[in-house]
Structure 1
């Protein structure tokens, strides 16, 4: 087995793009930043003045829920596949050394967004995006 090179990840991502990475196309089609005001309002994270670990970015968490829904994944499987797949990491804007939300964090985010009425309980309104993919 050959030794890893400095540009190996970039080369693998370029190959995925060449093969037609559906999540990459999805990112070009949907402006996820447009959801930020609604997500900020629904999640109502604290300002951090009491300390603690800062929350994950709301748009990142929403994109995780999109991946989870479109692929019909459990919270645990979602956590695993984000850590495992370069295409998921690229879609989420994560690097190999970035912290990934655990299954409980994904579950809590979905619960908070559902309780706030920001998403359907089963996230069924996202099924329309499967046509794009």
Structure 2
């Protein structure tokens, strides 16, 4: 039947995403997002609440949403839409097709709480450090391709360093 999903359709789509080189899958393999749980919980300390209301979303998943926003330059509303729309985003966040996606206001409030706790800059600095430690560089700001790529480490020779300090172009560089 054409309209009815098959038992393995979702796993086949995940395999196709992986085969195409899903950058978010690679990012999940590079950064252990669980190291952010402790600092997130500390920054988001809540007062004791009475029973009732919906439990908060997982703070690590919410931080991953902020990472998506930073990589793809999404507004809160666009973030909500893209998470609902993109299978790769859902997989990155650990959401199934039936998972509840935080709305734009929830994303904004989460970010604001981190800003008020003066934790957002520290968290992203730690995220950037985790990437750098593994030899990667986050290239963000482009919806077309927010890819995590290996960053080559430049090694200048002593002669090149001396030439640079003297304001000269090293001989080996002139040909390039």
Tell me the TM-score normalized by structure 2. 0.68
Q: 1:18 to 1:66 in 2, by over 3 A?
A: same
Shift, 1:52, TM fit: 1.0
| Aligned positions of 1:104-119 closer than 5 A | 104-119=105-120
Unaligned regions of 5+ residues in structure 2, if any? 129-136, 140-146, 150-176
Shift, 1:10, TM fit: 0.9
1:94 maps to 95
Q: 1:47 to 1:129 in 2, by over 3 A?
A: farther
Shift, 1:100, TM fit: 0.6
2:144 maps to none
Q: Larger deviation: 55-64 or 41-50?
A: 41-50
1:9 maps to 10
For 1:124 and 1:38, the matched residues in 2 are separated by: 11
Tell me the TM-score normalized by structure 1. 0.89
Structure showing greater radius of gyration is 2
Q: Larger deviation: 18-27 or 111-120?
A: 111-120
2:78 maps to 77
Question: Over the residues paired in the alignment, what is the CA RMSD in angstroms?
Answer: 2.1
| Contact 1:48–1:54, Cα closer than 8 Å, also in 2 | no
For 2:91 and 2:57, the matched residues in 1 are separated by: 16
| Contact 1:43–1:112, Cα closer than 8 Å, also in 2 | yes
| Aligned positions of 1:29-48 closer than 5 A | 29-46=30-47
| Contact 1:45–1:55, Cα closer than 8 Å, also in 2 | no
For 1:102 and 1:52, the matched residues in 2 are separated by: 16
2:143 maps to none
| Aligned positions of 1:58-77 closer than 5 A | 58-77=59-78
**Partner deviation per Cα, 1:84-124 (whole Å, 9 max, x = no partner):** 1000000000000011100000000000001111113xx97
Q: Which has the bigger relative contact order, CA under 8 A and spacing at least 6?
A: 1
For 2:48 and 2:62, the matched residues in 1 are separated by: 18
